[in-house]
Amino acid sequence: MRQIIIAIFMMLGSQVNAEVLMHCGSSKGEAYIFNHPVFNSEPSGWHKDGINNGRIILTKDGDNWDILFGDTVGSSGYRSDGATVILLAWTDEFIRIGAFANNYSDVYNFNLKEQSVVWTSNKSGPLWGKAAVYLSSCR
């Protein structure tokens, strides 16, 4: 497993010495998807949503935080995507990280005691818009 994580860091241009704080799996949740005449002709509304075979990896390298993510299609990270990644809160029980770019705002609430992450994603763009909340188990 460590080799996979190191390979992900190398692909994303991250330093291999970054500390992995949480490693999470698939996410399940609900999304409110907005109507779009071409890409979503259905009325705006709530839908089951998720990332099967997904992964979320919280890393820290000095004062630099990042969240690496991937699924069966590929892997990426917020910093390599050009997002601003900010530590919003850190206690003995929780770490809250925000990732912000022009077309999305994602906030991750890592629960250190329960080994889980609840995260929200707000996306807007030329294809569609959605607001969603997800849950993932971690180790």
Give residue-wise pLDDT tens across range 63-88: 999 999 998 888 999 999 999 999 99
Residue whose structure tokens are 């089951």:
48
pLDDT of residue 128: 79
Least confident span in 7-16, 60-69, 71-80, 96-105:
7-16
Query: Mind listing the pLDDT tens digit for each residue in 28-63?
Result: 999 999 988 877 778 899 999 999 999 999 999 999
- HSE-CB at 4 with a 13 A cutoff on CA atoms is 9
CA trace torsion 19, 97, 94, 121 (10° rounding): -120
CA distance 49 to 27: 8
- Please compute the mean of the pLDDT values over residues 85-114 and round it to a whole number: 97
Which structural domains are found in the chain, ordered by start? 2-138 (2.40.128)
Eight-class DSSP state of 38: T
Tell me, what amino acid is at 109? Answer: N
**Is the pLDDT reported for residue 3 higher than 60?**
no
* Nearest residue to 89 (alpha-carbon basis) of 65, 68, 69, 105: 65
pLDDT of residue 16: 61
- Please compute the mean of the pLDDT values over residues 2-27 and round it to a whole number: 67
Give the model's confidence band at 24: pLDDT under 50 very low, under 70 low, under 90 confident, else very high.
Answer: very high
